[in-house]
Amino acid sequence: MKRKLLSVLLTGALAASMFVGCGTSTETTDTSAAGGDTAAETTTAEGGDSTAAAGGTKVGVAMPTKDLQRWNQDGANMQKELEAAGYEVDLQYASNDVQTQVSQVENMINSGCNVLVVAAIEGSSLGEAMDMAAEKNIPVIAYDRLIMNSDAVSYYATFDNYKVGQVQGQYIIDQLDLDNTDKTFTMEVTAGDPGDNNAGFFYDGAMDLLKPYIEKGTIEVKSGQTEFADVATAQWATETAQSRMENILSTYYADGTNLDICLCSNDSTALGVENALAANYKGDYPIVTGQDCDIENTKNMIAGKQSMSVFKDTRTLASQVVKMVGQILKGETVDVNDEKTYDNGKGVVPSYLCEPVFADKDNYKELLIDSGYYTEDQLK
Ligand code: BGC
């Protein structure tokens, strides 16, 4: 409720800044504290929202890194869609460096962005930048990853992260028919970055389904590493996942013991595990899960080195966020479909959750090629 009120108030400020225009960065920086808010109040009454074209409105888009394929797609889709809707776009990547991202977001605020869309590198490191945004009445949409411990986050748009984990866990249960077996299957778990709020959701979604089988003895984790803190991968780095799995393979599986399941939360960690398997493992090839349908991983699915992935169509997320930006600016009710799951420590952030989709070698063509996500050549 508080946020809805805030969004109504913000709309006035934003409509005003659209009337005033963006100006140059320096002008905006210099005058915002003194003049900006007053100007906002005087023009709010005129509303202007229905007439306010997107032109002159600047949206800051902060992305974590270019190193991972998906964020390049997210950024490109956001830029394309926002520009098509007539907005000016300030798109920045931060090389997975928290301080760089903080500075980028602060610059966006100081250079007159009217709305911020932020995919956080570390969910809890943006507090001060968020306070600055709040002071200037700039609405913030957390993109894919929730920004933690701040009440300046207006909305959150993501995929259903818990469901991503469930899709991975259920796949393992179905493939090995775990409800109808006397066998014991070995499993190792590789999860995501502890600084990314999503990582816990992926892990919980899968492990809530798989833990009962571990307790029954149908699944055995030879390394004994099952807690999130033990299996997490800082910054989702392929190399970190690879060296951890190389250690596990040489310690627990070098004697010829088969490893049956590698539960990996996403494709970058799955790639590390696949590299480790290629280098250090001689047994029957395990089930390997992933998420994102990155090109390398899709190629590995086709080649039988990864069993499945979870497709999160970044075009869908970008369209949803662009729609939300428009709704915020026009003072319309913003589309959300979840108002209970994502508490960032200061309260539940109203969220829009897109649907993740199961992908494997049997449906990738339809999902990824027929839909125009990739060309056939990209997957060769
Ligand atoms: C995203 C995943 C991605 C991971 C690593 C998560 O926040 O939801 O799609 O694989 O970050 O970048």
Tell me the C-alpha distance between 197 and 351, whole Å. Answer: 14
> Are 136 and 242 contained in the same domain?
no
Query: 217 in helix, strand or coil?
Result: coil
Strand order in the sheet with 261-264: 219-220, 185-190, 261-264, 287-288
Closest CA to 113 of 82, 88, 86: 88
Q: Best substitution site from 74, 159, 198, 273 to test ligand 1's pocket, by max atoms within 8 Å of Cβ?
A: 198
> Are 169 and 291 contained in the same domain?
yes
* Cα of 276 from ligand 1 centre, angstroms: 21
> Are 206 and 151 contained in the same domain?
no
> Are 190 and 261 contained in the same domain?
yes
The verdict on residue 92 lying in a domain is: yes
> Are 226 and 336 contained in the same domain?
no
> Are 36 and 73 contained in the same domain?
yes
Give residue 191's Cα distance to chain centre: 14
* Cα of 323 from ligand 1 centre, angstroms: 22
Q: Are strands 88-93 and 58-63 parallel, antiparallel or unpaired?
A: parallel
Closest CA to 343 of 150, 190, 194, 92: 150
* Cα of 266 from ligand 1 centre, angstroms: 7
What CA–CA distances, in Å, run from 351 to 15, 108, 162?
A: 23, 23, 14
Q: Which domain holds residue 326?
A: 25-158+314-354
**Helices 314-330 and 2-20: angle between axes, nearest 10 degrees:** 80
Flag residues of the chain having pLDDT under 70.
1-55
- Kindly list the protein residues whose Cβ atom lies closer than 6 A to any atom of ligand 1: 68, 70, 144-145, 196, 198, 236, 266, 268, 291-292, 312
Q: Which residue CA neighbors atom 5 of ligand 1 most closely?
A: 236
Which atom in ligand 1 lies closest to the alpha carbon of residue 236?
5
* Cα of 7 from ligand 1 centre, angstroms: 28
The verdict on residue 370 lying in a domain is: no
> Are 298 and 207 contained in the same domain?
yes
The verdict on residue 375 lying in a domain is: no
The verdict on residue 211 lying in a domain is: yes
The verdict on residue 148 lying in a domain is: yes
> Are 282 and 349 contained in the same domain?
no
* Cα of 309 from ligand 1 centre, angstroms: 13
Residue 150 and residue 167 in contact, taking contact as beta carbons nearer than 8 Å:
no
Tell me the C-alpha distance between 317 and 300, whole Å. Answer: 25
Length of the chain: 380
Q: Which residues contact 79 (CB under 8 A, 6 or more apart)?
A: 61, 89, 91
Which atom in ligand 1 lies closest to the alpha carbon of residue 159?
8
| Domain termination residue (choose one: 290, 311, 332) | 311
pLDDT at residue 54, as a whole number: 67
Closest CA to 293 of 379, 180, 171, 173: 379
Phi and psi, residue 343, nearest 5°: -95, 125
Phi and psi, residue 54, nearest 5°: -70, -20
Average pLDDT, the chain: 88
- Tally the domains of the chain: 2
pLDDT at residue 56, as a whole number: 86
The verdict on residue 208 lying in a domain is: yes
The tokens 């866990």 sit on which residue?
169
Q: Which two three-digit tokens encode residue 101?
A: 């991202």
* Cα of 10 from ligand 1 centre, angstroms: 30
The verdict on residue 371 lying in a domain is: no
> Are 35 and 56 contained in the same domain?
yes
Q: Which two three-digit tokens encode residue 341?
A: 């799951």
Residue 108 and residue 92 in contact, taking contact as beta carbons nearer than 8 Å:
yes
The verdict on residue 14 lying in a domain is: no
Which atom in ligand 1 lies closest to the alpha carbon of residue 267?
10
The tokens 């400020």 sit on which residue?
13
Residues 255-314: tens digit of each pLDDT: 999 999 999 999 999 999 999 999 999 999 999 999 999 999 999 999 999 999 999 999
Phi and psi, residue 338, nearest 5°: -150, 120
Closest CA to 117 of 141, 89, 133: 141
Q: Which residue CA neighbors atom 10 of ligand 1 most closely?
A: 266
Tell me the C-alpha distance between 7 and 331, whole Å. Answer: 7
Which atom in ligand 1 lies closest to the alpha carbon of residue 265?
10
CATH of the domain at 167: 3.40.50.2300
Q: What angle do CA 68, 70, 72 make, to 5 degrees?
A: 80
> Are 194 and 138 contained in the same domain?
no
> Are 176 and 288 contained in the same domain?
yes
Question: What are the contacts of 364-372 at 24+ separation with CB within 8 A?
Answer: 364/293, 364/298, 364/301, 364/302, 367/293, 367/311, 368/293, 368/298, 368/311, 371/313
> Are 89 and 221 contained in the same domain?
no
* Cα of 362 from ligand 1 centre, angstroms: 24
